[in-house]
C-alpha cells in the first residue's frame, strides 16, 4: 500500500525550495562494549588509545584543510574546535587514561563514558548554542571510536537530484558527503546555528532542520519537497504541489544563474562610465570566493588576522609569504593592503595597550604604528617585496593629519632603503594611499590629495565620526546611517578633492555594497567601490542598468536634501525606477 502525502514542520535553516528524491543518510553505527582488562593489558590499551588519537587528529587536520579550501575558513573552524577537544588534557585525555588504568576497562568504553558525560552536561545547559555543541562532543566521540577500530569513514555520494534526509548531520558527515548533487537537506535534529544550517546557507542549498521523526517515516527514493523559506517538508506530495514547487525551484535557480552571469562582466553604465567593483577580504579563502563572484581587485585587504593568529608579532618573512599568496592570485589586478589597524578596543593578545576612556578617539590605526615604527617598517618591507610580484598598493588607516602621512611615507622610504641594502627583490614605486575615515581628513582632503596616490573612503568609521555616534550603541543608532546628509556631503567633498588632484578614489565601507547607495557613488564618479564578495554580481547588474547622466542628477538632488528621510526617499525613488538590463 502506498502512503499518501505527509507534511512535516521544522525550523527553516537555509532559504529556497527544492524538489527531489529522498536519499537516506545513515551513519555507520559504532557499538560500544565494555571489556575488563588484565593488569598486563592496561599499558597496551593506553597506547592503543593514544594511537587512535593520533589517527583522528591527522584525519581532522586533513578535513580542516579541505573544507577551508572548498567552502571557507569559517565553516572549517568547527574542525579546529574538534581538534582542540582531542587535545583536551583535563577533560578528555587524562580522564580516559585514568579510567583505563584504574578501572581496567577497554579504551572504547572509557571514551564513551567520559565524552558522553560531557555531552550530557552540555545538553543540560540553558543556551540553545550549548545544547547544539553536545552534538560536537558526540561527533568527536564517534570519530575516536572509529579510529580505535583502525579505520575512518569514506565519502558517501548521493545520486542526482537528492534531498538528503538524516536523523542528524554532524560536521564529519557534512565533510564526507559529496554535496555536488544535493538539492536540499532535511534533518530530525539541529537548530538554525547547527553545522548543516551554516554549510547549506554558504552553498545556497535549501534546508529544514528540527523535523523530529522525519527520517524514520521517509523511505529511500520517496519524492520530497524541502521548503527552506517556511520550514516545511512534504513527503510524497500530490501532483499539484509538486508542480508548483518545481516552478518555484526553477525560478530560483534561474535568478541565481542570471545574477552569476553578471559576475564576469564590467560594471559599466549604459552611457559608458566604468566603475571598478572590488572585494573586501581578510583571508585567502575569501579571495577564491571573491574571484568567482567577479572581483576586479581587492579594495581592502585587512591584515589584522595575520597578527591575531600569531603568538607574537609576525616576522617580515611570515608577512611576505602571506601577502605573496594574495598578490600571486590576483595577477595584475590591484591588491590594496591596509596596514595594521589596532586600537584599545581591538588590541593584540601579545601587545599590551593601556586602557583608555575613549578608545574610538584614542591610540589606534596609524597613530599606534607611527609610535611603534618597527611594527610598520616590518609590514611595509613585506608589502614592498610582495609588490614585486604583482599590483600591490599600500594604504594607511585612521589618518587625521598631513604630518601623519608624511611620517608614514618616510617609513616607506626607510623600508625601501633597507631592502636595497639587504639585496632583496622589491618594488619601490608602489602606490601609497590613505583611508578617509575622520572628519579632519575630509576637511583636509585637498592637502592630503597632494601627498598620496589614492584615497579610499571608509564609511563605517567616517559615519561614526561625522555623526559623533558610536556605531555599537543602540541608543544612538538612529543617527548612525551612511545616508545622513552630512555623510553624503563629506563623501562628495572627498571625491571632488581627489578629482582635482587627479588621484584614484575608492570606497570600502558598508556604503559601497549598498544597492541604494551605488547610483549615488556612480554619479559622484568614484573610480572603484569595494564590498563583501556576495554583493558583487548584484552591484554589477545595477551599474549596468543605469546611466551616469541620471546618476549625476540624482547626486545633485540628494545633495539638496536636508534630512535622512529625504535622502532615503530620493534614493528609493530612483532605485524603484530602474529596470534591470540583461547580462
Partner 1 sequence: MCSMARAETTVQLKNKVGLHARPASLFVQTAKKFKSKIVVRKDDKEADAKSILGVLSLGAEYGHWITIVAEGDDAEEAVQALASLVESRFGEAE
230 versus 534: smaller Cβ distance to partner 1: 534
Q: Shortest Cβ distance from residue 88 to partner 1 (Å)? A: 5
Among 350, 549, 553, 565, binds partner 1 (CB under 8 A): 350
Rank residues 458 and 519 by Cβ distance to partner 1 and give the closer one.
Answer: 458
| Interacting span for partner 1 (CB under 8 A) from 351-359, 361-369, 479-487, 573-581 | 351-359
DSSP 526: -
Smallest separation, CB 121 to partner 1 (Å): 6
Q: Which of 216, 262, 267 is nearest to 512 (CA)?
A: 267
The answer to the question of residue 3 lying near partner 1 (CB under 8 A) is no
Residue 284 C-beta: closest distance to partner 1, Å: 16
Which of 91, 156 has the CB closer to partner 1? 91
Residue 469 contacts by C-beta under 8 Å, 6 or more apart in sequence? 463, 476, 477, 479, 480
Cα gap 443→380, rounded to integer Å: 27
Shortest Å distance, C-beta 86 to partner 1: 10
257: contact with partner 1 by CB under 8 A: no
Residue 60, C-alpha cell as written in the block: 581532522
User: If we measure between CA atoms, which residue out of 580, 295, 434, 145 comes closest to residue 442?
Assistant: 434
Q: Which residues in the 198-237 window bind partner 1 by CB under 8 A?
A: none
Binding residues for partner 1, total number by CB under 8 A: 38
Residue 504 annotated among the catalytic residues of the structure: no
Helices and strands of the chain, counted as H and E runs: 23, 16
Backbone angles phi, psi at 228, to 5 degrees: -75, -10
Note if 167 is an active site residue: no
Site for partner 1 in 406-445 (CB under 8 A): none
Q: Residue 404 or residue 437: which is nearer to partner 1 going by CB? A: 437
Q: Which is nearer to partner 1, 57 or 409 (CB)?
A: 57
Lookup: cell for 15: 532559504
Q: Grid coordinates 551513519 are at which residue?
A: 27
Rounded Cα distance, 483 and 562, in Å: 11
Residues paired with residue 338 on neighbouring β-strands, in sequence order: 302, 395
With contact defined as beta carbons under 8 Å apart, do 24 and 224 qualify? no
Which run of H or E residues covers position 174? helix 171-176
Measured over the CA atoms of residue 546, residue 552, residue 555 and residue 556, the dihedral's sign is: negative
Question: Binding residue for partner 1 (CB under 8 A) from 38, 352, 358, 579?
Answer: 352
* CB closer to partner 1, 121 vs 216: 121
CB of 304 to partner 1, least distance (A): 6
Binding track, positions 317-346, relative to partner 1; x by CB under 8 A: ---------------------------xxx
Bridge partners (DSSP) of residue 343 are 346
> Applying CB under 8 A, does 480 fall inside the site for partner 1?
no
Q: How many CB atoms lie within 10 A of CB 334?
A: 23
Q: Which of 11, 24, 32, 81 binds partner 1 (CB under 8 A)?
A: 81
Q: Which of 434, 431, 461 is nearest to 448 (CA)?
A: 434
Q: Given the residues 82, 482, 504, 508, select the one marked as catalytic.
A: 508
In the list 31, 39, 90, 556, the residue contacting partner 1 (rule: CB under 8 A) is 90
CA of residue 571 relative to chain centroid, distance:
29
CB of 123 to partner 1, least distance (A): 11
Q: Residue 88 or 229: which CB sits closer to partner 1?
A: 88
Edge-to-edge order in the sheet of strand 182-187: 6-9, 232-235, 223-227, 17-24, 162-166, 182-187, 207-209, 11-14
CB of 181 to partner 1, least distance (A): 31
Q: For partner 1, which is the closer residue by CB, 162 or 369?
A: 369
Q: Are 224 and 233 in contact (CB under 8 A)?
A: yes
Minimal distance, residue 345 CB to partner 1, in Å: 7
Residue 40: how many CA atoms within 13 Å on its side-chain side? 0
Contact between residue 262 and residue 544 where contact means Cβ atoms under 8 Å apart = yes
Q: Which is nearer to partner 1, 65 or 410 (CB)?
A: 65
Q: Which is nearer to partner 1, 219 or 346 (CB)?
A: 346
Q: Choose among 223, 197, 224, 225: nearest CA to 210.
A: 197
Within residues 122-151, the interface with partner 1 by CB under 8 A covers: 122, 125-127, 129-130, 133, 137
Reported residue count of the chain is 583
In the list 50, 304, 318, 470, the residue contacting partner 1 (rule: CB under 8 A) is: 304
Per the listing, cell 548521493 goes with: 158
Taking CB under 8 A as the binding criterion, the range among 27-35, 78-86, 270-278, 367-375 that sits at the site for partner 1 is: 78-86
Q: Which of 82, 195, 482, 504 is catalytic?
A: 195
Least separation in angstroms between residue 68's CB and partner 1 is 14
Under 8 Å between Cβ of 52 and 236: no
Q: Which of 56, 63, 85, 143 binds partner 1 (CB under 8 A)?
A: 85
**What positions carry a catalytic annotation?**
195, 508
User: Which residue ranges make up the site for partner 1 (CB under 8 A)?
Assistant: 77, 80-81, 84-85, 87-92, 118, 121-122, 125-127, 129-130, 133, 137, 282, 302, 304-305, 308, 311, 344-350, 352-353, 355, 460
Amino acid at each position: 500500500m502506498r502512503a499518501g502525502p505527509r507534511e512535516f514542520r521544522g525550523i527553516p535553516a537555509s532559504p529556497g525550495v527544492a524538489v527531489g528524491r529522498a536519499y537516506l543518510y545513515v551513519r555507520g553505527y559504532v557499538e560500544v562494549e565494555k571489556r575488563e582488562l588484565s593488569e598486563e593489558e592496561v599499558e597496551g590499551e593506553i597506547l592503543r588509545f593514544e594511537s587512535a588519537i593520533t589517527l583522528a587528529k591527522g584525519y581532522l587536520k586533513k578535513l580542516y584543510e579541505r573544507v577551508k579550501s572548498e567552502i571557507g575558513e569559517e565553516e572549517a573552524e568547527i574542525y579546529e574546535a574538534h581538534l582542540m577537544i582531542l587535545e583536551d588534557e583535563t577533560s578528555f585525555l587524562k580522564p580516559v587514561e585514568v579510567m583505563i588504568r584504574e578501572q581496567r576497562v577497554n579504551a572504547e568504553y572509557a571514551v564513551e563514558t567520559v565524552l558522553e558525560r560531557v555531552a550530557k552536561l552540555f545538553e543540560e545547559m540553558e543556551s540553545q548554542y550549548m545544547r547544539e555543541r553536545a552534538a560536537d562532543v558526540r561527533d568527536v566521540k564517534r570519530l575516536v571510536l572509529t579510529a580505535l577500530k583502525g579505520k575512518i569513514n569514506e565519502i558517501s555520494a548521493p545520486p542526482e537530484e537528492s534531498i538528503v534526509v538524516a536523523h542528524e548531520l554532524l560536521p564529519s558527515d557534512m565533510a564526507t558527503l559529496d554535496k555536488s548533487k544535493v538539492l536540499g537537506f532535511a534533518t530530525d535534529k539541529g537548530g538554525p546555528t547547527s553545522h548543516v544550517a551554516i554549510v547549506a546557507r554558504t552553498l545556497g542549498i535549501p534546508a529544514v532542520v528540527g523535523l523530529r521523526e522525519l527520517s524514520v517515516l521517509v523511505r529511500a527514493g520517496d519524492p520530497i519537497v524541502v521548503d527552506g523559506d517556511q520550514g516545511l517538508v512534504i513527503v510524497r506530495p500530490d501532483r499539484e504541489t509538486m508542480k508548483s514547487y518545481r516552478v518555484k525551484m526553477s525560478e530560483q535557480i534561474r535568478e541565481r544563474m542570471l545574477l552569476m552571469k553578471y559576475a564576469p562582466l564590467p560594471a559599466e553604465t549604459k552611457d559608458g562610465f566604468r566603475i571598478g567593483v572590488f572585494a573586501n577580504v581578510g583571508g585567502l579563502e575569501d579571495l577564491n570566493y571573491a574571484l568567482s563572484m567577479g572581483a576586479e581587485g581587492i579594495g581592502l585587504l585587512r591584515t589584522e588576522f595575520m597578527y591575531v593568529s600569531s603568538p607574537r608579532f609576525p616576522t617580515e618573512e611570515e608577512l611576505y609569504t602571506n601577502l605573496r599568496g594574495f598578490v600571486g592570485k590576483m595577477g595584475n589586478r590591484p591588491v590594496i593592503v591596509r596596514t595594521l589597524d589596532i586600537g584599545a578596543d581591538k588590541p593584540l593578545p601579545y601587545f599590551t595597550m593601556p586602557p583608555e576612556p575613549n578608545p574610538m578617539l584614542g591610540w589606534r590605526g596609524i597613530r599606534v604604528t607611527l609610535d611603534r615604527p618597527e611594527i610598520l617598517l616590518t609590514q611595509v618591507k613585506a608589502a614592498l617585496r610582495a609588490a614585486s610580484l604583482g599590483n600591490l598598493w599600500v594604504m594607511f588607516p585612521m589618518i587625521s593629519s598631513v604630518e601623519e602621512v608624511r611620517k608614514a611615507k618616510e617609513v616607506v622610504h626607510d623600508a625601501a632603503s633597507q631592502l636595497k641594502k639587504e639585496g632583496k627583490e622589491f618594488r619601490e614605486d608602489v602606490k601609497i594611499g590613505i583611508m578617509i575615515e575622520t572628519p579632519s581628513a575630509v576637511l583636509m582632503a585637498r592637502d592630503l590629495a597632494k601627498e598620496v596616490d589614492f584615497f579610499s573612503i571608509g564609511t563605517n568609521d567616517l559615519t561614526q565620526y561625522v555623526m559623533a555616534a558610536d556605531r555599537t550603541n543602540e541608543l544612538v543608532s538612529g543617527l548612525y546611517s551612511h545616508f545622513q546628509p552630512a555623510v553624503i556631503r563629506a563623501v562628495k567633498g572627498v571625491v571632488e578633492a581627489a578629482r582635482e588632484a587627479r588621484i584614484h578614489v575608492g570606497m570600502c565601507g558598508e556604503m559601497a555594497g549598498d544597492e541604494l547607495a551605488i547610483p549615488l557613488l556612480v554619479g559622484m564618479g568614484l573610480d572603484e567601490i569595494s564590498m563583501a564578495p556576495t554583493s558583487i554580481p548584484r552591484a554589477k547588474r545595477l551599474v549596468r542598468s543605469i546611466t551616469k547622466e541620471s546618476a549625476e542628477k540624482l547626486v545633485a538632488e540628494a545633495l539638496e536634501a536636508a534630512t535622512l528621510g529625504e535622502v532615503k526617499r530620493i534614493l528609493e525613488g530612483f532605485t524603484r525606477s530602474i529596470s534591470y538590463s540583461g547580462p
